[in-house]
């Protein structure tokens, strides 16, 4: 099984999120990463999958955020905070586990502890045939922790911005994917705070 990517235009690059894998979603400190993983979660819900959303924020903030871009029937199982000991409770077979923000929750861990938790998350994803999505704010983890994360996870999606004379340009990069390939191109998008729209026009940055 897998979870279809419901963002129009992105399916040309990554049409689905496979089960039994861990995907790291990186970006600057804004809510686009959360909106992205929530949209994947809603896609899973619409197909009868259970979604557990572990948040580093108050649940009411997350619910208010979701109400701006998801249908009212998008009922995630919300969990405030995360500890490795609770992983078995939160992970369900063939479900979807979202940890947002993984980098904030793990920022005080030393390298060995960070590696062990991430390896445990990956093991649970395999054992339970589940999809795990982790969000990470650029600069919150140490360089070594970030390198370990890239090594262990199955895929990496980066949300990036760059200033150009015309203003700020937003684009995604997929430097590592579950099938072993790297998508060596920028995927441009716009974001209004609630909706991600992929721009399929050919551009050079």
Q: What is the pLDDT of residues 90-122, one digit of tens each?
A: 667 788 999 998 999 899 899 999 999 999 999
Residue 89's pLDDT band (cuts 50, 70, 90): low
In a domain, 14, yes or no: yes
- Nearest-CA neighbor of 179 among 51, 13, 26? 13
The CATH code of the domain that includes 150 is 3.40.50.300
pLDDT for 158 beyond 90: yes
State the residue range of the domain holding 26. 2-199
Q: Are 116 and 110 in contact (CB under 8 A)?
A: no
Mean pLDDT for the stretch of residues 127-144: 93
Q: What is the DSSP letter of 70?
A: S
Q: Is 47 exposed, middle or buried (0-12, 13-18, 19+ CB in 10 A)?
A: exposed
What are the E-state strand segments in the chain? Answer: 2-4, 16-18, 21-27, 51-55, 77-80, 96-100, 131-137, 155-164, 167-176, 183-191, 196-199
Mutual orientation of helices 32-45 and 59-66 as an angle, nearest 10°? Answer: 80
In a domain, 145, yes or no: yes
In a domain, 9, yes or no: yes
User: pTM higher than 0.85, yes or no?
Assistant: yes
In a domain, 204, yes or no: no
In a domain, 165, yes or no: yes
In a domain, 106, yes or no: yes
Radius of gyration of the chain (CA): 16
In a domain, 118, yes or no: yes
List the structure tokens of 56: 């580093």
Other beta carbons within 10 angstroms of residue 97's beta carbon come to 27
Q: Are 4 and 40 in contact (CB under 8 A)?
A: no
CA atoms within 13 A on the CB side of 114: 23
Other beta carbons within 10 angstroms of residue 152's beta carbon come to 15
Local structure of 156: helix, strand or coil: strand
pLDDT for 26 beyond 80: yes
In a domain, 205, yes or no: no
Q: How many domains are there within the chain? A: 1
């Amino acid at each position: 099984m897998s979870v279809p990517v419901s963002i129009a235009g992105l399916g040309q690059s990554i049409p689905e999120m496979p089960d039994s894998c861990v995907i790291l979603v990186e970006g600057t400190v804004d809510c686009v990463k959360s909106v992205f993983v929530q949209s994947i979660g809603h896609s899973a819900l619409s197909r009868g999958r259970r979604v557990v959303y572990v948040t580093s924020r108050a649940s009411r903030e997350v619910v208010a955020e979701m109400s701006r871009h998801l249908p009212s029937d998008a009922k995630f199982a919300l969990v405030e905070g995360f500890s490795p000991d609770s992983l078995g409770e939160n992970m369900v077979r063939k479900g979807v586990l979202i940890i947002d923000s993984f980098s904030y929750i793990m920022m005080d861990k030393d390298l060995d502890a960070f590696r062990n938790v991430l390896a445990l998350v990956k093991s649970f994803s395999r054992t339970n045939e589940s999809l795990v999505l982790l969000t990470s704010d650029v600069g919150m983890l140490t360089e070594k922790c970030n390198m370990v994360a890239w090594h262990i996870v199955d895929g990496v999606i980066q949300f990036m911005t760059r200033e150009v004379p015309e203003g700020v340009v937003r684009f995604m990069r997929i430097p590592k994917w579950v099938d072993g390939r790297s998508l060596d191109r920028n995927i441009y998008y716009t974001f209004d705070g609630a909706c991600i729209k992929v721009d399929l026009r050919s551009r050079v940055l």
